[in-house]
Structure 1
């Protein structure tokens, strides 16, 4: 299983200047190549290399970095063509699609740049790296990471590494091919209901309240609005300082929740049932305040964290249709809108059971996950003798 491992570099000021200049140069040349590719009929790596390799070398890029720039541009146009074919950018003639198709792809001045082992070497015992830059090769750049990350780099690192600049700091994103654990046969199922008021509620009773995270989002939203309205230099510096703080908070919260769910499933040899919420933002019809909350909801991230952690632990994972899980009684199966008298309350009109609405929904998800698993599982019954 491929995962991305991050380490933070600690370069000197001279090293940081060289690293930043390298990113700027690579992306400037990528934009020039993108302008050329936009007017070319063929945008394959081979075609772009034949058209632009000498110019990239003349701009100060070594052989491997030049090839990485060519590949970045070619892959970007390949991804764009795939999105257009899939209809992700709208139908033919739509404003959004026409806007994308009318101009070349543009790369940010400090966008990530890929490195292979010829341009980047790791000294894991010393926790340093040696990296190519347009100012020459920089050696003995320290990096910081956890012991678990260092172990993953030592045992599982595979493929390329990206140099990333974020808020003035430099990071290396390395690809690690971590072996998957064998999936065990579940003895039960844990249903996970995802929401906004409660980020996650499981059928076993765990509930991760979203009050703290939602309040943090509201504070950040109000603070950004005030700073944007002020518009001074100090306000802009504060906005830059606050950028991505909300996403970092949500990411950390989702990691903690996902780890707890997967750990419980692994300890009890249970499988995990998750709602398939793809396309929910397009399907939902909500008022403006509710839309803000929905579009701030990092449910896809939480689901992806649960999925990869479950895969690493060998925990079975099943996605189920979430339709009517909040209106269906987990005890008798009766479905009715009136079963939900309030946001947090479920009261069955048929059997009279009263429960927390999210807990009831999570139990329905667990039932559906078990049914889906049994339906797709191969029979283990012995073959009858002829």
Structure 2
């Protein structure tokens, strides 16, 4: 399977200036090529290369490899946009949002990621140094830092492209690694059901509850602070908002990684598979009151599911996705379905047999039972296709990435291959 090791670069001021100029030039060239592709309706790699390759090299001073990567980045961005339009991720055909996405060329951010191959980037992993191509020439002896296990992964499994990224003035390289998968457990004797929620992030059929109290409080606090800073709208308020803009996402990602690691470790230890709900499209199906919308929109159930899926794949643990319909209203003991069974958010009481249990634990038991039935019918260990990312940033990647259990940079990331 493909993993991405994220390492933090430690460039000198001169090296950082060269890297910044390179990203700016590559993304300016990509935006120009995107306009050419839109105007001429040429969005395939080799066809677009005929119209843009020579101009990109002459106008922005890019090398041959960099120019080809820029053109490929543009074509991948249009391919992603086309898939999003077809899947309905940008609204219905003819809607304002659909027309806005479809009726103008793709533009790339000045600091968008730029791919590098082995001709443009060389690694000296033992010395923690890299040599990287820039518009100012080859920059050598750029230091980087990473955890020991990440260095070992780089040394053994690095293969393919690496992406140069700048976030909040910090420089990172995302290196693709081909890591061998563990031998899958062909016949799990049972399943560990996982009920996903907002109040309780995850509840297992064994009774373990991973509460979301801390995360939800932080989200409410950050939301209130963002509102306050936006109303104030002074230069210092804007600086503080920029400084805190990714704090909530980083904290949520860290918690999701810890939960996923705990779930997969328990399933691997006991020789079971993992049963998850397929919640694809839940935001389109559910109607909410206005006070609930922000909480529901910030619910990172898809990220947690992706983390569990790739960690389970590395450990050789089977993952089965089940239909979540009526799992919260069904009695895990007698199977009676009634809306009144759900007494409150926290408690379940069956109107038929009198069974009482924590509502999320009852739901996780129903998920486990459905996974057993699917597995007996021959359902494979699989995961639903990840949603396509909307146009923006580099517009290039259509795979899903996830940072390491540490979640602090540098971190280990996963790509669904």
Is 2:184 aligned against 1:183? yes
Cα distance per residue 1:262-306 (max 9 Å; x no partner)? 000000001100000000000011101111111000000000000
Is 2:127 aligned against 1:133? no
Is 2:159 aligned against 1:158? yes
| Correspondence for 1:44 | 44
Is 2:88 aligned against 1:80? no
Equivalents in 1 of 2:259, 2:79: separation in Å?
A: 36
Cα distance per residue 1:208-246 (max 9 Å; x no partner)? 100000000011111111111111111111011001100
Is 2:321 aligned against 1:319? yes
The verdict on how the C-alpha distance between 1:289 and 1:377 changes in structure 2, with shifts beyond 3 A counting, is: closer
Higher mean alpha-carbon deviation, 83-92 vs 242-251, is at 83-92
Equivalents in 2 of 1:276, 1:89: separation in Å?
A: 21
State the TM-score, normalizing by the size of structure 1.
0.96
Equivalents in 2 of 1:181, 1:323: separation in Å?
A: 32
Deviation of 1:352 after TM superposition, in Å, equals: 0.7
- Give the 3-state SS of the residue equivalent to 1:6 in structure 2: strand
| Correspondence for 2:57 | 57
Equivalents in 2 of 1:250, 1:142: separation in Å?
A: 29
The verdict on how the C-alpha distance between 1:193 and 1:377 changes in structure 2, with shifts beyond 3 A counting, is: closer
| Correspondence for 1:291 | 293
Aligned partner of 1:272 among 274, 293, 300:
274
- Give the 3-state SS of the residue equivalent to 1:39 in structure 2: helix
Is 2:360 aligned against 1:339? no
| Correspondence for 1:142 | 143
- Give the 3-state SS of the residue equivalent to 2:130 in structure 1: strand
- Give the 3-state SS of the residue equivalent to 2:377 in structure 1: helix
Equivalents in 1 of 2:129, 2:16: separation in Å?
A: 15
Cα distance per residue 1:47-81 (max 9 Å; x no partner)? 21111111111121011001000111111112222
Higher mean alpha-carbon deviation, 300-309 vs 69-78, is at 69-78
Aligned partner of 2:229 among 227, 230, 233:
227
| Correspondence for 2:16 | 16
> Which has the bigger relative contact order, CA under 8 A and spacing at least 6?
2
Deviation of 1:36 after TM superposition, in Å, equals: 1.1
- Give the 3-state SS of the residue equivalent to 1:181 in structure 2: coil
Equivalents in 2 of 1:299, 1:87: separation in Å?
A: 20
Deviation of 1:377 after TM superposition, in Å, equals: 6.1
Higher mean alpha-carbon deviation, 226-235 vs 107-116, is at 226-235
| Correspondence for 1:30 | 30
State the TM-score, normalizing by the size of structure 2.
0.89
Equivalents in 1 of 2:94, 2:130: separation in Å?
A: 49
- Structure 1 residue runs of 5 or longer lacking an equivalent are 379-386
| Correspondence for 2:409 | none
- Give the 3-state SS of the residue equivalent to 2:280 in structure 1: coil
Equivalents in 2 of 1:103, 1:329: separation in Å?
A: 52
- Give the 3-state SS of the residue equivalent to 2:40 in structure 1: coil
Equivalents in 1 of 2:19, 2:38: separation in Å?
A: 28
Deviation of 1:41 after TM superposition, in Å, equals: 2.6
| Correspondence for 2:123 | 122
Equivalents in 2 of 1:238, 1:246: separation in Å?
A: 14
Q: CA RMSD in A?
A: 1.1
- Give the 3-state SS of the residue equivalent to 1:376 in structure 2: coil
Aligned residues: 378
| Correspondence for 1:348 | 350
Deviation of 1:87 after TM superposition, in Å, equals: 3.0
Higher mean alpha-carbon deviation, 253-262 vs 176-185, is at 176-185
- Give the 3-state SS of the residue equivalent to 2:345 in structure 1: coil
Deviation of 1:83 after TM superposition, in Å, equals: 2.2
- Give the 3-state SS of the residue equivalent to 1:118 in structure 2: coil
Deviation of 1:42 after TM superposition, in Å, equals: 2.2
